[in-house]
Structure 1
């Protein structure tokens, strides 16, 4: 029976090339590696979230003795950023290189050059001293655009690779001593404590130990290595245990853990992403491989091809070559980690790159061995090197040398430093954290993920996402929002307005509505809306979902009634929320169903819908208040969205409205209740008087005497108030200029102070704030009656109107208390909006809409 035996890695008896030649070649490769890595390294790739995370933690470690800027969550072992912190301490943080991110990338340059040299040494020693393997491996490692992309970044993986390669080098040096065995174990343990996925290389080390140790010493070597490596890694668990943070944490009644836990964090990390077999097209593994191939197809193809060739060679040679076996095992064991079915992040490729490079180097070395000794072997090695360089030049993308992906990021930080108060509460991609929070004094800046989950940070903004003032939106933040991992940040983005956008030159496809971004070379700054605007936005979403049917009909119930005033309310909200699609739909439905009058282009006021959803025009009459609102809203929409057609339509409606909805009696030009009013007597609703709108129309549509409507309207209201002692819901003005009661036309209550009068009050308040004394005179009459009316007829109409008055006038009521009892009490705490009738919605909406016209010092802080 034949026994398989691994040929041990032995010290070579004599050098395969002159020392001088070797030194020149190695220095040349290292210079190429350094230049390619350093060229444009501050411009490409974009500053990634993790880079600043590790830098900020490193800075916190050396300046504050903490493992994190906030609560350390055991999401990574800490040795990596502790080393980064040492570098920052030695170089003065960001002082020497212009910023912490730049300082970190300089460190990565040094690490990359060191790793290139280690790849050379490991390749050489795995092939019994042949420099061909080391040179080719180092060349592939240095030239790979995929490597440059990730090795420029301040990633724990790059530091982990340094320790893994060092641990391998200690094992492949001959003879294998106890000191080197223990040193390798410690180095490997440090690698694991730098990035935990280094553990998946452990099997390859066992191969090297078995091959490198003499037969009787193999068990002892393996045990010593495992003890030194395991003992080093165990320190991480001992630290957690001493802090009482090892075992799962108890949870409160809401399921919130009382403290952090290493075991809990491990469980969370292992459960990241949805499971999918690696051969499934939508698996995280397949998506990651696709991304790697886009960045650098050449390295992936030659590395995979070399691995398969070595695997075949290993089998054919009956596993006798320890170097080949070890490299193949390193690659395959790490591939098993990548293909485990869980989440695979793009940067997970970093630890595989040196081993793919080693596979190419060892394969070339094995091929040269086939040639006869002599000059042909160096020729083959040189040809392979030239082919690899040519392949990278012709096939690989060279944008890492010329593309600037950080300019937008730098510009966004500069904008924040110029425009945002240092005390502002900012949730951000972590790339801004070192410069803003640690170097710039922006104490309210938080890493968005910590802001979502860290109890201390959540307490700092009262655990209310509405108190986060700014969101610095990047590819990473948008991706996490899309995944649903940061619901608070999703709320902030959904309720914010864009104040600064830096997307110039970006290669990313960005679709914020679909939460899609394909690259991180862009930044936007979003400012959270005021609480009042948040309520109005949520109210619109509720209104749109519950009461907007078909393509733009407002319908509360089926069967039900749609009015032109309902349609105007919907248009106003859509315009305020910049919902152009909804606005177009509402106006289209209004035009299709309500604007079929033969005499003018005005809207009929009522549409009836039956149980089957079929409808018909219930009344062709108009409500002039709705049509005048349509004019103003169409003009506003035309300005907001640059839609000239709407402006022309508004002008046409205004012409018909002026001729049909205004009349002159006793020298006064007034607004009729309807274009279809009585012939002899005019029925007037005082609440239709809108001087704010008329002044706007005087500027936009000067063909009509809108100022006369303002002046005559005030004169009419003053006369009504003098003669009646109030402004009633309705007034009849005869052709003789006499005021008569309207109850005979509109029913009981028409001649009293009531809900229609209440609708006039906010208009007069806005006018009073603008300095209109005539409005103040009328309010002097109405406000005491409003107070009495609210006492006698409590409810949302009177309560919300009284709350508005209390904000502008001193009437003995606390406006904040009125808001809480009369308005906020109507808001459902679960939905953040009003779950009542459409009529009640209109009253509550009116209060919040009124806040937009108030000076900041009189607005009510919303809870």
Structure 2
């Protein structure tokens, strides 16, 4: 009894007992301040990125239709593509779109099939904003500067333009941000390394070219592991990532499509074509190159996110906690200078790192200047940036760039027999298919897909009833002679802006 009384009177043991029974603060209380900053930013991002989602940008890149159509094929009849799957990209990206479409009855609900994909892109943008905020906080940004990074990433007209379109790069970038946030986990655990590997493998299985960011991710992981467990954590990361990514070539091997051979597609041939046979876009350092022109179009849309971000790469490499971010952006800029092929959507993976570097530079500047100077700099930046942003964002909220394509589709549905052979782009293809057309043909499959030429176009031009598309460049038609002859032997029966409905008379 005396011993018990002594224990109860002991101040040390009493404090320990009190702390043992004191409830831990709830997750809401712990992260309340961050959630109060992030929540309105997500609302703003949802409004800016979701308003007029179908109308702006217009239907300017056939890849949008391609990925949505591949998702439909996966959902409808278990195929990896609406035509022969030739390993152009891993299929996780459009599998995610297919999953969303299946859960929401998307292809029966949406006014146009591509809208289903754009809804997935909107969700991806919001998740990316939340992950960017988490990553910034784990990189020791204050809540205010983490919020600034999210604001830039969510509201920049350049970002909004690409966030809306159905590109695998958006999903890959979302997974890269998840991998970086996991790698920067304050727990510094093996579990963090494992999750980082899972998310980065998911990114690679959406868009394989994203693996160029592996050095930046490994650097961040090294920074956020202790010396005692670093080798183990890196081993878990590299092995897990390697095993997960290897599932793609194993899939090709099981289908006997790993190596080139007679009568079948192959992963080996697709990789060779992507790396060596595809026509290059030229170097960013050459003002006459396609790469330079594409980069110029990004800057014309919004110079205030990408240019400052790239200019701040040296600062990023000079500040320890920003070095992996600076390296990630530097790698991508260097790749633009090599002279290879530059995809239209390449800029997507640059955007979060540019936003982080700008916010990080702001944090460094505010820590060294007095408050009045910081306020003056912020006001000056707002006066320079916001007028241009407001003009572009106002346009995106009101312009319906897909109206002509939708009108042309409606005309075909109302006036053309469902059994007619209609050659069209990949936006209209899916809507015609959902409307009951049995023989729509994607224009890029004319003359290039033996199955299409044998089963749908056995008589060449004589098998085509209608061509529905915008005028094509002469260089494009030179590689599609059947389509070119079909357009030459057709008459225009309806026009909706740039989209022309042609009746073919072989």
State the partner residue of 2:299: 293
State the partner residue of 1:354: 352
Partners of 2:429 and 2:378 in 1: CA distance: 43
Q: What is the Cα deviation at residue 219 of structure 1?
A: 2.5
Q: What is the Cα deviation at residue 384 of structure 1?
A: 6.3
State the partner residue of 2:334: 336
* 2:237 paired with 1:266: no
Query: Which of the numbers 494, 502, 505 marks the counterpart of 1:526?
Result: 502
Query: Which of the numbers 126, 131, 153 marks the counterpart of 2:143?
Result: 131
Structure 1 residues 125, 479: CA separation in 2 closer, same or farther (over 3 Å shift)?
Answer: farther
Partners of 2:432 and 2:149 in 1: CA distance: 41
Query: Which of the numbers 72, 76, 81 marks the counterpart of 2:89?
Result: 76
Structure 1 residues 309, 496: CA separation in 2 closer, same or farther (over 3 Å shift)?
Answer: farther
Alignment of 1:739-818 (within 5 A): none
State the partner residue of 2:452: 457
Query: Which of the numbers 199, 224, 234 marks the counterpart of 2:236?
Result: 224
**Does the Cα contact within 8 Å between 1:288 and 1:345 map onto a contact in 2?**
no
* 2:211 paired with 1:199: yes
Q: Deviations over 1:730-776 (max 9, x none)?
A: xxxxxxxxxxxxxxxxxxxxxxxxxxxxxxxxxxxxxxxxxxxxxxx
Q: Deviations over 1:837-862 (max 9, x none)?
A: xxxxxxxxxxxxxxxxxxxxxxxxxx
Query: Which of the numbers 346, 358, 363 marks the counterpart of 1:365?
Result: 363
* 2:249 paired with 1:237: yes
Structure 1 residues 20, 64: CA separation in 2 closer, same or farther (over 3 Å shift)?
Answer: same
Partners of 2:33 and 2:381 in 1: CA distance: 20
Q: Deviations over 1:648-697 (max 9, x none)?
A: xxxxxxxxxxxxxxxxxxxxxxxxxxxxxxxxxxxxxxxxxxxxxxxxxx
Q: Secondary structure at the match of 1:498?
A: strand
Alignment of 1:3-18 (within 5 A): none
Q: What is the Cα deviation at residue 388 of structure 1?
A: 5.2
State the partner residue of 1:557: none
Q: What is the Cα deviation at residue 206 of structure 1?
A: 1.3
Structure 1 residues 492, 481: CA separation in 2 closer, same or farther (over 3 Å shift)?
Answer: farther
Structure 1 residues 259, 93: CA separation in 2 closer, same or farther (over 3 Å shift)?
Answer: same
Q: Deviations over 1:394-426 (max 9, x none)?
A: 123332122221111111101111121111111
Partners of 2:469 and 2:312 in 1: CA distance: 42
**Does the Cα contact within 8 Å between 1:150 and 1:350 map onto a contact in 2?**
yes
Q: What is the Cα deviation at residue 192 of structure 1?
A: 0.5
Partners of 1:442 and 1:346 in 2: CA distance: 31
**Does the Cα contact within 8 Å between 1:204 and 1:329 map onto a contact in 2?**
yes
Partners of 1:82 and 1:495 in 2: CA distance: 40
Query: Which of the numbers 403, 421, 424 marks the counterpart of 2:399?
Result: 403
Partners of 1:130 and 1:304 in 2: CA distance: 22
Q: What is the Cα deviation at residue 208 of structure 1?
A: 0.8
**Of the two structures, which has the highest relative contact order with CA contacts closer than 8 Å and spacing of 6 or more?**
2
Query: Which of the numbers 445, 451, 471 marks the counterpart of 2:467?
Result: 471
State the partner residue of 1:638: none
Partners of 1:345 and 1:479 in 2: CA distance: 19
Q: Deviations over 1:120-159 (max 9, x none)?
A: 1112211x25223311110100111111111111211111
* 2:446 paired with 1:417: no
**Does the Cα contact within 8 Å between 2:477 and 2:483 map onto a contact in 1?**
no
Q: Deviations over 1:30-70 (max 9, x none)?
A: 11111111111111111332112111111211221110112
Structure 1 residues 103, 494: CA separation in 2 closer, same or farther (over 3 Å shift)?
Answer: same
Structure 1 residues 208, 414: CA separation in 2 closer, same or farther (over 3 Å shift)?
Answer: same
State the partner residue of 1:282: 288
State the partner residue of 1:430: 426
State the partner residue of 1:142: 154
State the partner residue of 1:106: 119
Partners of 1:480 and 1:295 in 2: CA distance: 27
Of Structure 1 and Structure 2, the greater helix share is in 2
**Does the Cα contact within 8 Å between 1:41 and 1:105 map onto a contact in 2?**
yes
Partners of 1:200 and 1:307 in 2: CA distance: 17
Q: What is the Cα deviation at residue 485 of structure 1?
A: 4.2
Partners of 1:131 and 1:480 in 2: CA distance: 53
Partners of 1:334 and 1:485 in 2: CA distance: 31
Partners of 1:481 and 1:442 in 2: CA distance: 29
Query: Which of the numbers 438, 442, 451 marks the counterpart of 2:437?
Result: 442
**Does the Cα contact within 8 Å between 2:312 and 2:358 map onto a contact in 1?**
yes
Q: Deviations over 1:188-227 (max 9, x none)?
A: 0110010111111111011112211112332222222111
**Does the Cα contact within 8 Å between 1:151 and 1:158 map onto a contact in 2?**
yes
Structure 1 residues 234, 442: CA separation in 2 closer, same or farther (over 3 Å shift)?
Answer: same
Q: Secondary structure at the match of 2:108?
A: coil
Query: Which of the numbers 247, 267, 271 marks the counterpart of 2:259?
Result: 247
Partners of 1:140 and 1:483 in 2: CA distance: 41
Alignment of 1:669-684 (within 5 A): none
Question: 5+ unaligned residues in a row in structure 2: which ranges?
Answer: 1-28
Q: Number of matched residues?
A: 472
Q: What is the Cα deviation at residue 481 of structure 1?
A: 4.6
TM-score by length of 2: 0.88
Q: Secondary structure at the match of 1:359?
A: helix
Structure 1 residues 29, 80: CA separation in 2 closer, same or farther (over 3 Å shift)?
Answer: same
Partners of 1:385 and 1:22 in 2: CA distance: 22
* 2:107 paired with 1:115: no
Q: Deviations over 1:432-459 (max 9, x none)?
A: 122111x111111021112332221111
